[in-house]
């Protein structure tokens, strides 16, 4: 007859093997809060990583356009971009007014272009030298004139109107209008991005200038060190951005995004007692 202890011993043996195995499966490697924090941290890292690896702005392919010139002193070159003093702000006389197609309602302000005379041996300077100009103004259309006879900046023409001394570096000014090749190029600037604050205690304007890399700005955010949280500013006109959020009494931080989707954050560039009409220097693009 079989011993009644054998089934009992077999059952105990199975329990001894199964219980530790169940504990090993059910035991979490992290507590609930730790697991959530770990997952969020990993997702944030994966999301932020591409930002720090965005390539620097590179020259674009060459395109065709035309160029004319205008008379005037350096005080007239800021124009529709609202730069107050292009000579003092480092742009010099190598500035350009762009046709509407290129100006893009002010988004092109600060962008840099390489231009050179092309396909006109009669007027182009020998060797077809090129030079860099910065977009600082708008060349308005003239619908009363045909596109090929005076309406040089009419839509859809791509056109550059430059100062006479600049035009003379490319071609004989007697030509009046010349065909050119142009391309976007990185802007080279000295020092950091500049923020000039204008307005009054109820309405604020910030002119953003001296931007390296792409040169043109598509977004500006501002943050204080106390009550003011990150606030999206709106383009007022040209390189000027506006907000009705209260900025007074706060040490201000600005975050700008260029057209190549790269960001630059300038932390606490102003003191708490900043003044209207003053310019503050922040961090530029590498």
Reading the block at residue 170, the tokens are: 């490319």
Give the pLDDT confidence of 174-183 residue by residue, as tens digits. 999 999 999 9
Task: State whether residue 181 is helix, strand or coil.
Answer: strand
- Total residue count of the chain as it appears in this document: 286
pLDDT tens for residues 233-276? 999 999 999 999 999 999 999 999 999 999 999 999 999 999 99
pTM: 0.79
Q: What percent of the chain has pLDDT over 70?
A: 79
pLDDT of 34 strictly over 70: no
Secondary structure (DSSP) of 7-25: HHHHHHHHHHHHHHHHHHH
In the three-class reduction of DSSP (H, G, I as helix; E, B as strand; rest coil), residue 83 is classed as coil
H or E stretch at 281: strand 279-281
CA 158, 164, 167: angle at the middle one, nearest 5?
A: 55
d(CA 184, CA 57): 9
- Kindly list the structural domains of the chain, giving each domain's residue range(s) and its CATH number in brackets, ordered by start: 63-184 (2.40.40.10), 193-282 (2.60.40.760)
Task: Please report, in angstroms and rounded to a whole number, the separation of the first and last CA atoms in the chain.
Answer: 90
Tokens 């600082």, located at residue: 136
Q: Do residues 126 and 117 lie in contact, with contact meaning Cβ atoms separated by under 8 Å?
A: no
Per residue in 194-215, pLDDT tens? 999 999 999 999 999 999 999 9
pLDDT band at residue 19 under the 50/70/90 scheme: very low
Instruction: Give the other-Cβ count within 10 Å of 138's Cβ.
Output: 24
Distance CA(235)–CA(211), nearest Å, equals 16
């Amino acid at each position: 007859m079989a011993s009644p202890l054998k089934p009992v011993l077999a059952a105990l043996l199975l329990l001894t093997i199964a219980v530790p195995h169940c504990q090993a499966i059910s035991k979490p490697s992290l507590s609930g809060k730790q697991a959530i924090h770990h997952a969020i941290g990993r997702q944030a890292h994966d999301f932020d990583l591409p930002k720090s690896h965005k390539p620097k702005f590179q020259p674009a392919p060459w395109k065709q356009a035309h160029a004319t010139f205008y008379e005037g002193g350096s005080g007239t070159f800021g124009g529709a971009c609202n730069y107050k003093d292009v000579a003092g702000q480092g742009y010099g006389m190598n500035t350009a007014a762009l046709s509407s197609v290129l100006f893009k309602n002010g988004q092109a302000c600060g962008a840099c272009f390489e231009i050179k005379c092309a396909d006109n041996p009669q007027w182009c300077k020998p060797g077809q030298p090129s030079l860099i100009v910065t977009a600082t103004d708008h060349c308005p259309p003239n619908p009363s004139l045909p596109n090929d006879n005076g309406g040089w900046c009419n839509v859809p023409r791509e056109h550059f109107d430059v100062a006479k001394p600049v035009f003379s570096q490319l071609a004989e000014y007697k030509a009046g209008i010349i065909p050119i090749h142009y391309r976007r190029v990185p802007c080279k600037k000295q020092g950091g991005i500049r923020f000039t604050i204008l307005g009054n205690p109820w309405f604020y304007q910030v002119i953003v200038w001296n931007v390296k890399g792409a040169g043109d700005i598509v977004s500006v955010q501002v943050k204080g060190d106390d009550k003011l949280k990150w606030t999206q500013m709106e383009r007022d006109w040209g390189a000027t951005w506006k907000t009705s959020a209260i900025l007074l009494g706060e040490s201000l931080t600005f975050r700008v995004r260029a057209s190549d989707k790269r960001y630059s954050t300038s932390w606490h560039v102003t003191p708490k007692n900043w003044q209207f009409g003053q310019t503050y220097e922040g961090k530029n693009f590498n």
